[in-house]
């Protein structure tokens, strides 16, 4: 109790000093923050400081930070309303947010005040920070992009709402047992979420199934009206998203599914307890769990229900807000921009048409003009298996009115395309319906046709869209595709994840880069300065030591922080080619054993990433990495020259420790298959050198950092295409590379799995027989590139010079730049 009383009485004495402070300093005043924290602890958490545990302190402190956000949030919202600003709505089935405590504190510039306040209360901020659940409402890059965009939209002053689903269970927690991935549910909401505000007033009815009623008006025109057979309630939960320096605050609105009637009392009273609740469970299941697949579509009915659920709720909310403010839909496209993050919200095209035509009585053509003007669509993948399609009969059954609307859009589209003189072949490709083997709705085409702009996420990806997935649509609508190269928020990925480097940068080039990351260029001359390089290297070593602790804690393996940290962390997928990396690692292991006294560069090979639970090939690669680690790490012959570790449960919080600790960043996808990548950018910002293919945003990284400062290897997208046309022979390729053949033979003979010699038969056979992702074809180029990195490592001055230049030249990859481009060229909204 002593703390409480001293905090309160001293607050009186502080009043005068307090009045003299500037507003920002006033907010960051430790004495006041301490009083606020104690008040929250008592009145919101209900705990006396004497008995409060670490979680109580965290909750109390989060609630204090949240209060500081709320004032600004209301001011932002009020100002957007008053100035009649156009609002951007970012529809995304995934938001991979991670923890918010440090992010919010940093953006409000409260970190020093709160750290001191807590320390005076005997609370270690770094300890309680780790207790916040990591909100993983997404799978990987796509969801993380949405989270970076939310922060950047607030930072550059774009009034925005993110719309998604408040999943009870986010992405699974990954454990490694016996070397294999095991999935456990992640219950991030177990103790509630202190950041969110439930909104009783924002609730919408979402329909499913039923039929369409057509009525004839007095003038002969018809009105369609959907009579759903089943209804579910969507209720809103808002989380404020605060931009850098706390100037603007936007809203992330996540929908939760509730039954329209929680229980059928007549059934319950008659003794049918399960039956009484079955409807309720069916409704709730919509927001129960995130689909844990990445880059491939599960294609299950519940997924389509999720997609329609959040799309419909969001559009109803958008129209309600617009009509409340303007009382007319005439200016809808001037005040509303809706971005569809991938095809998951593609039903927005049909749902917005239904709302405008059936509910608001607009004529079709007028509604269509507005729909196209409002909507835009971001494509994230060229993998054919990841392009969503849904069976026509499923859509017809679940959303009968939407299916009619899609047919009408399609009929008009095909008429226009035909009239414009395009061939039958083109007609067939642009159609919203795939007529081959069971009719399916093409969600990519639906999104493309319903949007005024369609963007890819890196230059190469946008170019490839024009000649692959959307070749024919691009011929018909040549102005629609545009590129918006991804970015990452420098607040989370530089300032918060790498405080040591941030401090060094501030001391060296001043604070300017914190408001404009392009100012990192001022660092360039320091790359040649040995004293600066030494400080830069010291920060890196400190970050590596921190990661070494995490590795030891999670895997039991001890690694040497002075070795080269060579890191590949991302979702596990064959196109990302973690197997190319581990196969080359085995070859290196063989070479070290054959020639132990050569001048090898000591390496720690770090892997992390989750595999979709049903993706056995990706899980097999995880197991191989762990099995290889088991052998290599226990082989005294390699001494400390090589270690192989797999860090379990990769998520945003892990990434924040991993990225700043990398010397070498592995970005080695088969060229043409990684749309952009954003992990590559996070690594580069912290000064890692990239070894990578000419794929995704690696291409633009090459342009920015310069060919001397990035190691590009392997086939280009064009060469990949040419090889596939010519016919690729993996068998002959492998036979021609003795080192690779030795590796594959070793794996197949059970060297890494003595208790189960056949464990990797599937993996090895698939390389011999198809090698769809061209691992063997790029193997020698990759090996040669790695040996060049070894040589460079021995020249630490040269390595660190390049590392500094990477940090100096990565500023362009800030998501602030990306958002400014969307704002100007797609949304038509001003930025500050």
682 is catalytic: yes
- Residue 225 to residues 53, 68, 212, 371, Cα–Cα distance (Å): 56, 46, 6, 19
CB of 695 to ligand PLP, least distance (A): 11
User: Which is nearer to ligand PLP, 314 or 678 (by Cβ)?
Assistant: 678
Binding site for ligand PLP (CB under 6 A): 140-141, 144, 570-571, 650-652, 655, 677-679, 682
Structure tokens at 498: 């790498």
Nearest to 664 by CA among 750, 609, 604: 604
Catalytic residue among 380, 429, 442, 452: 380
User: Which is nearer to ligand PLP, 166 or 571 (by Cβ)?
Assistant: 571
User: Which is nearer to ligand PLP, 89 or 615 (by Cβ)?
Assistant: 615
> Which residues are registered as beta bridge partners of 607?
568, 646
> Which residues are registered as beta bridge partners of 227?
211
Nearest to 654 by CA among 682, 673, 629, 634: 682
Q: What are phi and psi of 734, to 5 degrees?
A: -65, -45
Q: What are phi and psi of 440, to 5 degrees?
A: -135, 150
CB of 659 to ligand PLP, least distance (A): 8
User: Which is nearer to ligand PLP, 142 or 313 (by Cβ)?
Assistant: 142
Which H or E run includes 441? Answer: strand 440-442
Q: What are phi and psi of 561, to 5 degrees?
A: -65, -10
CA 616/CA 669 separation, integer angstroms: 19
CB of 669 to ligand PLP, least distance (A): 9
CB of 610 to ligand PLP, least distance (A): 9
User: Which is nearer to ligand PLP, 94 or 627 (by Cβ)?
Assistant: 94
User: Which is nearer to ligand PLP, 38 or 97 (by Cβ)?
Assistant: 97
CB of 528 to ligand PLP, least distance (A): 31
Spatial neighbors of 340 by CB under 8 A, at least 6 apart, are 91, 346, 348, 375, 376, 377, 378, 447, 451
Q: How many CB atoms lie within 10 A of CB 593?
A: 14
CA 627/CA 5 separation, integer angstroms: 58
User: Which is nearer to ligand PLP, 100 or 355 (by Cβ)?
Assistant: 100
CB of 677 to ligand PLP, least distance (A): 4
CB of 565 to ligand PLP, least distance (A): 16
Q: How many CB atoms lie within 10 A of CB 249?
A: 22
Catalytic residue among 571, 573, 619, 623: 571
DSSP state of 355: I
CA 36/CA 8 separation, integer angstroms: 10
User: Which is nearer to ligand PLP, 113 or 140 (by Cβ)?
Assistant: 140
CB of 696 to ligand PLP, least distance (A): 8
CB of 653 to ligand PLP, least distance (A): 8
Q: What are phi and psi of 456, to 5 degrees?
A: -90, 175
Catalytic residue among 248, 401, 576, 711: 576
Catalytic residue among 335, 544, 682, 759: 682
User: Which is nearer to ligand PLP, 228 or 459 (by Cβ)?
Assistant: 459
Spatial neighbors of 399 by CB under 8 A, at least 6 apart, are 208, 308, 347, 350
Comparing every residue's Cβ against ligand PLP, the nearest one is 679
Asked if residues 545 and 553 have their Cβ atoms less than 8 Å apart, the reply is: no
User: Which is nearer to ligand PLP, 98 or 113 (by Cβ)?
Assistant: 98
- Residue 136 to residues 94, 98, 143, 153, 330, Cα–Cα distance (Å): 9, 6, 9, 20, 39
CB of 668 to ligand PLP, least distance (A): 11
- The 3-state DSSP class for residue 569 equals strand
576 is catalytic: yes
Catalytic residue among 491, 570, 579, 704: 570
Spatial neighbors of 413 by CB under 8 A, at least 6 apart, are 430, 431, 432, 449
Catalytic residue among 235, 585, 678, 801: 678
Q: Which residues of 624-663 are buried (b: 16+ CB within 10 A; e: fewer)?
A: bbbbbbebbbeeeebeebbbbbbbbbbbbbbbbbbbbbbb
User: Which is nearer to ligand PLP, 96 or 362 (by Cβ)?
Assistant: 96
CA 549/CA 543 separation, integer angstroms: 10
Structure tokens at 448: 């493309």
- The 3-state DSSP class for residue 432 equals coil
678 is catalytic: yes
- The 3-state DSSP class for residue 487 equals coil
CB of 777 to ligand PLP, least distance (A): 22
Residues with catalytic roles: 380, 570-571, 576, 678, 682
């Amino acid at each position: 109790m002593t703390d409480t009383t001293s905090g309160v009485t001293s607050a009186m004495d502080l009043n005068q000093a307090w009045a003299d402070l500037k507003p920002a300093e006033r907010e960051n005043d430790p004495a006041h923050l301490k009083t606020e924290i104690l008040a929250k602890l008592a009145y919101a958490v209900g705990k006396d400081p004497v008995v409060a545990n670490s979680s109580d302190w965290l909750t109390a402190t989060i609630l204090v930070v949240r209060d500081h956000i709320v004032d600004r949030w209301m001011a932002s919202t009020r100002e957007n309303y008053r100035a009649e600003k156009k609002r951007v709505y970012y529809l995304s089935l995934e938001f991979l947010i991670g923890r918010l405590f440090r992010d919010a504190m940093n953006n409000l510039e409260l970190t020093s005040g709160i750290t001191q306040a807590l320390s005076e209360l005997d609370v270690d901020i770094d300890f309680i920070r780790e207790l916040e659940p990591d909100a993983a409402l997404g799978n990987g890059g796509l969801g993380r992009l949405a989270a970076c965009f939310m922060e950047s939209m607030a930072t550059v002053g774009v009034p925005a709402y993110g719309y998604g689903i408040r999943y009870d269970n986010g992405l699974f927690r990954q454990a490694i047992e016996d070397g294999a991935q095991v999935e456990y549910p992640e219950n991030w909401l177990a103790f509630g979420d202190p950041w969110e505000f439930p909104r009783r007033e924002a609730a919408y009815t979402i329909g499913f199934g039923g039929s369409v009623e057509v009525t004839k008006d007095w003038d002969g025109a018809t009105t369609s009206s959907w009579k759903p057979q089943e209804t579910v309630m969507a209720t809103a939960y808002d989380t404020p998203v605060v931009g850098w320096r706390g100037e603007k605050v936007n809203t992330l609105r996540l929908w939760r599914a509730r039954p329209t009637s929680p229980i059928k009392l007549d059934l319950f009273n008659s003794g049918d307890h399960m039956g009484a609740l079955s409807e309720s469970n069916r409704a709730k299941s919509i927001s129960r769990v995130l689909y844990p697949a990445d880059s491939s579509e599960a294609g299950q009915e519940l997924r389509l229900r999720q997609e329609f659920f959040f799309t419909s709720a969001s559009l109803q909310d958008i129209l309600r807000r617009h009509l409340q403010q303007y009382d007319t839909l005439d200016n809808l496209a001037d005040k509303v921009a809706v971005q569809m993050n991938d095809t998951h919200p593609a039903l927005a095209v049909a749902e917005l048409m239904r709302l405008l035509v059936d509910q608001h009585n607009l004529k079709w053509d007028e509604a269509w003009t507005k729909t196209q003007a409002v909507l835009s669509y971001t494509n994230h993948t060229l993998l054919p298996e990841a392009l969503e399609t849904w069976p026509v009969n499923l859509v017809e059954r679940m959303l009968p009115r939407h299916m009619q609307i899609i047919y009408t859009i399609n009929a008009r589209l095909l008429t226009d395309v035909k009239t414009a003189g395009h061939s039958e072949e083109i007609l067939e490709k642009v159609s919203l319906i795939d007529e081959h083997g069971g009719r399916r709705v093409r969600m990519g085409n639906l999104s493309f046709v319903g949007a005024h702009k369609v963007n890819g996420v890196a230059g190469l990806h946008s170019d490839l869209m024009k000649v692959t997935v959307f070749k024919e649509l691009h011929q018909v609508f040549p102005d629609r595709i545009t590129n918006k190269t991804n970015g990452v928020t420098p607040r989370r990925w530089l300032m918060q994840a790498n405080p040591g480097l941030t401090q060094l940068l501030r001391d060296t080039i001043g604070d300017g880069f914190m408001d404009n990351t392009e100012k990192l260029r001022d660092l360039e001359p320091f790359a040649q300065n040995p004293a600066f390089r030494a400080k830069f290297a010291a920060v890196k070593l400190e970050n590596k030591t921190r990661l070494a602790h995490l590795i030891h804690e999670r895997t039991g393996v001890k690694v040497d922080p002075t070795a080269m940290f060579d890191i590949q962390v991302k979702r596990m997928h064959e196109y990302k080619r973690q197997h190319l990396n581990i196969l080359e690692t085995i070859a290196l292991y063989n070479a070290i054993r054959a020639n132990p006294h050569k001048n090898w560069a000591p390496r720690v090979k770090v892997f992390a990433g989750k595999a979709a639970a049903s993706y056995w090939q990706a899980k097999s690669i995880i197991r191989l990495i762990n099995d290889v680690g088991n052998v290599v790490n226990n082989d005294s012959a390699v001494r400390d020259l090589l270690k192989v570790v797999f860090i379990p449960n990769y998520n945003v919080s892990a990434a924040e420790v991993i990225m700043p600790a990398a010397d070498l960043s592995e970005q080695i996808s088969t060229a043409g298959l990684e749309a952009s990548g954003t992990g590559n950018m996070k690594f580069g910002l912290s000064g890692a050198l990239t070894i990578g293919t000419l794929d995704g945003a690696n291409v633009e990284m090459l342009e920015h950092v310069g060919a001397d400062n990035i190691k590009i290897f392997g086939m280009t997208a064009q060469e990949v295409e040419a090889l596939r046309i010519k016919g690729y022979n993996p068998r002959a390729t492998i036979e021609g590379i003795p080192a690779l053949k030795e590796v594959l033979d070793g794996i197949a003979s059970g060297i890494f799995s003595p208790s189960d010699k056949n464990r990797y038969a599937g993996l090895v056979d698939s390389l011999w027989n198809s090698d769809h992702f061209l691992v063997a074809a790029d193997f020698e180029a990759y090996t040669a590139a790695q040996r060049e990195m070894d040589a460079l490592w021995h020249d630490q001055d040269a390595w660190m010079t390049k590392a500094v230049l990477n940090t100096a030249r990565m500023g362009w990859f800030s998501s602030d730049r990306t958002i400014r481009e969307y704002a100007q060229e797609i949304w038509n909204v001003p930025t500050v």
